[in-house]
Chains A and B, each alone.
Chain A
């Protein structure tokens, strides 16, 4: 309520109207509490009341509505916004004269001013009333476009912009749980991957004390290369999400600062329970490159060519709970415990059978189709299994409870 009162007060102040908090509050309360009017409607109603009382004629708007940034939820709408310019970015195309970030009390939004619009330039930190902009959407994120019909009016009073969205937030990897957010990270580069697109200059894994996350650095970002094992402060990254997994993207506005300290990569354990529905290729007895520890394909390392590999035992498998799947990586130690088979014994087995695959077959026959519960850190799409236990047998109480829930329904 206090927030609503302040918002109204600020709006009234813009029109040089002074009203006491009490006055605003009592009107709001009556609408919201006694008459169950939604907050947004109550706000509008109270504002209009005071405008009218003080002889302020609401501006006539031809087809565009004055909105708050947080209210923009649809593409192709004409809107007016009172906002402050929070950031200006390098336009990516000649057709764009300016682009950047606008903010008000409710949030921030990207704007694009077309070269063709022939509008004056916006200044960083200044507040404007921007009229007749068109809303747009790309991958769930909204923006506003200034075109030929748009108008820019500088505002005397500064628009109060939400400080949280003004600057990217310093976050930890584990805190990233939403796409489309601007963040700063303090991380170490855990892995660099082969890139599979010409638009990407680097991709891999970065991590901090709380976990690891995939990153992508665009070629267009024009940033220096990251080195494996080095720690950096990465500024102004955008979070992204694909099938429930998050990543961060480094673009033109991002910055890389090398750190002197070494960031420790840790993890927060994840849990998953389900049926083991697949034991994948590359499970069982494998050979790894002595240099980079990658698993070898026919004695060849993708990085170091033909090498004398060292034996290892691991499981790559898939757990499935009927709603989601989770890829698992089980290291040698845990695999040995789970199979009750040491690496040496596995080697012996393979030697006798003249086939490495016997170990994978053994894994399949022991694990496939059974229910397991696992815990461990999640890295990219894999859960690195630290503990794996078969689910305890169904109990009569469990069944009873389920029957009870059906009968109630």
Chain B
């Protein structure tokens, strides 16, 4: 007997928006892969996440529900943006999002959600478990936190990439599902096999995030005016977001990739182009 039926809370992983957006591989854990087994998203740097913690700038928010409120927000970090959703099954989060102004700094704890459109695009969003309004300090701390965690994963990935690479055709689907207690090294290897991750690319991403933060901190110490740096941060974020969009298109893994046999994450209503989605038929699913 080992504690209470082995329940333990899933750690919230730290992942920059750009990386999160280029993730396209999810699976259920455990040998039997039954419907209650937790699902995980594996990102290019090998973060195996069932939960994500993200802090950034809420740049837009919309109620896209028809009968019942269904809120969607766009959160921007120095590397890109990600959509978050909160509906009737996340009443507290939805309520907070509804009352929030854009732009403002926002912290989100959420479950990654993978949706594949008919033309094979894979769209990642976060189903918010909780949303809170935070300040610039928290957002800066998150960038440092996320940079550290990402660099740690890249370090592990570096060693994994030395392992003999599987033949071209092996996608990660063929890798037998490991137990939920997979080690970071195993996750890294699996990520490497699926994404053939370009470590340099993600190191650049981290550097970009840190460099922009450094500039902001230098500026805000000159102008004590907080609002000034806030505006700048939002601007930077948008620029970076555009860049990330471009980068994501360049990345083969994020686009084609044959349809997955299973679609463990609850499917999301079709969102055509990520950028200016206005019409979404809202499902009851959350």
Contact = CB atoms under 8 A, between A and B. Distances in A.
Contacts of A370: 107, 132, 134, 138
B66 to A, nearest CB: 28
A275 B145 contact: yes
Interface in B90-125: 92, 106-109
A323 B148 CA distance: 11
A370 to B, nearest CB: 5
Interface stretch (A12-20, A222-230, A398-406): A398-406
A191 to B, nearest CB: 15
Contacts of B213: 394, 399
B143 A322 contact: no
Contact of A196 (B4, B14, B218, B221): B4
A197 interface: yes
Interface stretch (A92-100, A263-271, A341-349, A361-369): A361-369
B262 interface: no
B220 to A, nearest CB: 9
Contact of B109 (A278, A390, A405, A409): A278
A321 B146 CA distance: 10
Given A277-B12, A396-B218, A403 B210 contact: yes
Residue of A199, A277, A391 with most partner-chain B CB within 10 A: A277
A364 B53 contact: no
B217 A399 contact: yes
A405 B151 contact: yes
A320 interface: yes
Nearest to A216: B1
Given A199-B1, A322-B11, A400 B107 contact: no
A211 to B, nearest CB: 18
B207 A403 contact: yes
B133 interface: yes
Given A275-B53, A277-B12, A396 B1 contact: no
A364 B132 contact: yes
Given A394-B141, A402-B210, A409-B203, A369 B13 contact: no
Contacts of A407: 207
Contacts of B108: 369
A325 interface: yes
A156 B133 CA distance: 77
Query: Which of B9, B92, B149 has the largest number of chain A CB atoms within 10 A?
Result: B9
B175 to A, nearest CB: 23
Contact of A368 (B14, B132, B137, B221): B132
Contacts of A197: 1
Contacts of B156: none
A365 B203 CA distance: 34
Contacts of A406: 151, 203, 206-207, 210
Contacts of B206: 406
Interface string B1-45: 111101011011110000000000000000000000000000000
B53 A399 contact: no
A100 to B, nearest CB: 24
Given A371-B138, A406-B210, A398 B144 contact: yes
B171 interface: no
A242 B3 contact: yes
A278 B53 CA distance: 11
Contacts of A368: 107, 109, 130, 132
Contacts of A393: 137, 140-141
A274 to B, nearest CB: 8
B147 interface: yes
Nearest to A274: B145
Given A402-B144, A403-B211, A395 B217 contact: yes
B18 to A, nearest CB: 16
A137 B145 CA distance: 40
Given A322-B13, A323-B11, A400 B214 contact: yes
A216 B217 CA distance: 53
Contacts of B155: 409
A200 B1 contact: yes
A406 B145 CA distance: 14
A324 interface: yes
Interface in A268-304: 275, 277-278
A109 interface: no
A394 B144 contact: yes
Contact of A243 (B8, B109, B207, B221): B8
Contacts of B134: 369-370
A250 to B, nearest CB: 13
Interface string B139-181: 0111111111101000100000000000000000000000000
A41 B113 CA distance: 55
B64 to A, nearest CB: 23
Interface in B251-278: none
A86 interface: no
Contacts of A371: 138, 141-142, 145
28 contacts: A196-B4, A197-B1, A242-B3, A243-B6, A275-B107, A277-B12, A277-B51, A277-B53, A277-B130, A320-B12, A322-B145, A323-B149, A324-B11, A325-B9, A325-B11, A368-B130, A369-B106, A369-B107, A369-B131, A369-B134, A369-B138, A370-B107, A390-B137, A391-B141, A393-B141, A399-B214, A402-B210, A409-B155
Given A242-B6, A394-B143, A403-B211, 10 more contacts: A275-B12, A277-B130, A318-B9, A320-B11, A320-B53, A369-B107, A369-B108, A370-B132, A396-B221, A405-B151
Interface of B: 1-4, 6, 8-9, 11-14, 51, 53, 55, 92, 106-109, 130-134, 137-138, 140-149, 151, 155, 203, 206-207, 210-211, 213-214, 217-218, 221
Interface of A: 196-197, 199-200, 216, 240, 242-243, 245, 275, 277-278, 318, 320-325, 364-365, 368-371, 390-391, 393-396, 398-400, 402-403, 405-407, 409
8 closest A-B pairs by beta carbon, nearest first, are A369-B107, A368-B132, A394-B140, A242-B2, A369-B132, A396-B217, A393-B137, A322-B14
